[in-house]
Amino acid sequence: MRDGHIHIEQGDYTLDWIRRFADRAVETGMREIWLLEHCYLFAEFVPMYGAVCAHSSYVDAWFHRKAGKLRLSDYLTLIEQVRRTDFPVSIRFGLEICYFPEYEAFVKKETRGCGLDFLLGSVHFIDRFAFDHKAEHWEGVDVDSAYRTYFETSISLAQSGLFDGIAHPDCIKLFGHKASFDLTAYYERLAQALAAQRMYAEESSGIFRRCPETAAPGMDAALLSCMKRHHIPIVTVSDAHCPEDVGDHIAEMTERIAQD
């Protein structure tokens, strides 16, 4: 089994820290783990977030508390150290990049030739709205409009050609908000865009851990079915941010994917 989305930001960039993730992977039956970081941790990517910080004082405070403390070269140095070291599981390294359509050229320039194993695109902001931070931030939001913008942005992400995969492709559901209209057309368009770019989609347990009362593990059943129908590779992921969560619900999601 594979856990294809594990963040390492809560510890120092040492081999001992990486070994904790690898050891937990062995305990949970993983043969391969994909480690990554949010791009905003690195100073190079801070310019992408000016508009969303200006839109919300909450996001501005959150962002400047966490962002830009490292350089991408710090991460790449760790990666080279890990690649020269034996671990009990296969380890790949990537970067999770918030997708902003106006920054496509910027992302391409910053990631060109950096030697990462994969680039993962994610939608965390819709019309500058940080929809996945707090449930109370949804007060007064037009849910149907938010869903439309979310999926249009996700489709643009796939069409950009920048990424190897799309993260948690329907995480807009995490607080229990549901569109009043049928999402089938959006599911089809997203799957077609992913297929055209030969991208994978995540089957993630991350939002379930955050919001177990409003979000089940993995994609909506209809979205998963659509992905399979279009032969989109599906990667099981925990979206862990600590060693203890590595492998979370991977076995159950693997079985779900295998079902007809």
Return the pLDDT at 186. Answer: 99
Mean pLDDT of 124-147: 96
| Confidence at 158, pLDDT banded by 50, 70, 90 | very high
State the Cα–Cα distance between residues 134 and 118, nearest whole angstrom: 29
Return the pLDDT at 22. Answer: 99
Instruction: Tell me the C-alpha to C-alpha distance, in Å, between residue 113 and each of 5, 46, 106, 110, 164.
Output: 21, 20, 14, 9, 15
Q: Mean of the per-residue pLDDT values for the chain? A: 97
Residue 79 has pLDDT above 70, yes or no: yes
State the Cα–Cα distance between residues 246 and 243, nearest whole angstrom: 6
Q: How many residues does the chain have?
A: 260
In the chain, the percentage of residues whose pLDDT exceeds 70 is 100
How does DSSP assign the chain, residue by residue? -EEEEEE-TTS-S-HHHHHHHHHHHHHTT-SEEEEEEEGGGBGGGGGGGHHHHHH-HHHHHHHHHHTTSB-HHHHHHHHHHHHTS--SSEEEEEEEEE--GGGHHHHHHHHTT---SEEEEE---BTTB-TTS-GGGGTT--HHHHHHHHHHHHHHHHHTS--SEESSTTGGGTTS---SS--HHHHHHHHHHHHHTT-EEEEE-HHHHH-TTT--SSS-HHHHHHHHHTT--EEEE--BSSGGGTTTTHHHHHHHHH--
Q: 208, 217 in Cβ contact below 8 A?
A: yes
| Confidence at 238, pLDDT banded by 50, 70, 90 | very high
Return the pLDDT at 260. Answer: 63
Q: Is the CATH code 3.90.400.10 the one for domain 2-258?
A: no
26-35, 100-109, 205-214: lowest mean pLDDT where?
A: 205-214
**Residue for token digits 């993983």?**
30
pTM: 0.96
Structure token digits, residue 253: 């999601």
Mean pLDDT of 18-31: 99
Mean pLDDT of 192-211: 97
| Confidence at 123, pLDDT banded by 50, 70, 90 | very high
